[in-house]
Amino acid sequence: MPKNIKNVMTAIDYIENHLHKKLDLETVASAVHYSKYHLHRMFTDTLGLTIHDYIQRRQLTEAAKLLVFSEKPILEIAFIAGYESQQSFTDIFKAMYKKTPNQYRKAEEFYPLQLKYILNENPTNLDGKEWRDKIIFATPEDIPQWLELVYLVVDGFPYLDEKQYLKKLQKSIANKRALLLKDADTAVGIMAFHELTGSIDFLGIHPQYRKRGIAKAFCEKVLYELVHSAQINITTFREGDKADTGYRKTWKSLGFTEAELLIEFGYPTQRFILQKEKLKGKKDE
């Protein structure tokens, strides 16, 4: 196993075992015996997310779970999530979930902001066209691996309803509208699309592989081989949304342009459109 991946996995395990305590980069670095500067660079380079953001999103997810499945007072949940006041907890919770903790509790619907990162211990060193040639149609047997990746990239899909998603996935697979990319036994890229409308219903790239050209490979596959239109479209976070971990930046780097603002499942989003000629030469970041 590459050393950096092992070290990041050790840091993740420590965070996951101490989610109900006050955590920061310095605490984690000290616990895993690394300088905070080195750990910060290693973690961010491997996953595209800082330790601070990972901790915050994981703790807020656990807090959301307590809001729905426990009767603990909101102030107590704020303390458990590492916040020193109910107001500071409420401010960041609303920025991420688009609801106050009280509104979220009343809705009685838990959905995660971030789940634990499970890493591929021995990733293959491929990129670009090599990936595109390996993209295949998913089969029903691929569903468990597909869902494992969905849980890893849940940060990109606010308000994910698992039961509803599974139904749509089964339908997409049956209609040859679900594409899959594997690295050995690990799903590293998934896409559900519609060949007539050019709509990308779901595109997820494994966090370890986001700088490997995989998003571009999927877009090329559908644009040049599978859809009947000269463009594809996807919905993502609106500008300035604190819950966005870099999805807008990725779509823009591939040549997607902003289109109309939408509300999906009560969540503010925006449609992005990619014309076929805009994709050439682009590189996802």
Q: Tens digit of pLDDT for each residue in 138-172?
A: 999 999 999 999 999 999 988 888 889 999 999 99
The answer to whether residues 72 and 174 belong to one domain is: no
Tell me the average pLDDT across 86-105.
Answer: 96
Q: Identify the domain boundary among 54, 73, 107.
A: 107
pLDDT given at position 278: 77
CA distances from 192 to 7, 55, 170, 240, 283 (A): 33, 30, 11, 26, 21
Question: The whole model's pTM is what?
Answer: 0.90
We report the CATH number of the domain holding residue 177 as 3.40.630.30
**Integer-rounded Cα radius of gyration of the chain:** 19
> What CA–CA distance (Å, rounded) separates 280 from 271?
21
> What CA–CA distance (Å, rounded) separates 206 from 26?
27
Residue 119 lies in a domain: no
The answer to whether residues 92 and 142 belong to one domain is: no
The answer to whether residues 171 and 263 belong to one domain is: yes
The answer to whether residues 133 and 200 belong to one domain is: yes
CB 145 within 8 A of CB 186: yes
The answer to whether residues 138 and 99 belong to one domain is: no
We report the CATH number of the domain holding residue 66 as 1.10.10.60
CA 68 to chain centre: 22
Residue 39 lies in a domain: yes
Helix (H, G, I), strand (E, B) or coil at 80: helix
The answer to whether residues 59 and 177 belong to one domain is: no
Q: Which residues contact 220 (CB under 8 A, 6 or more apart)?
A: 132, 279
Residue 121 lies in a domain: no
Angle between helix 143-152 and 162-174 (nearest 10): 130
* Structure token pair of residue 221: 């596959």
The answer to whether residues 161 and 60 belong to one domain is: no
DSSP 168-200: HHHHHHHTT-EEEEEETTEEEEEEEE-TTT-BE
Residue 187 lies in a domain: yes
Host domain of residue 201: 129-279
Q: Which amino acid does the sequence have at 268?
A: P
Tell me the average pLDDT across 35-60.
Answer: 95
Number of domains within the chain: 2
Tell me the average pLDDT across 47-62.
Answer: 96
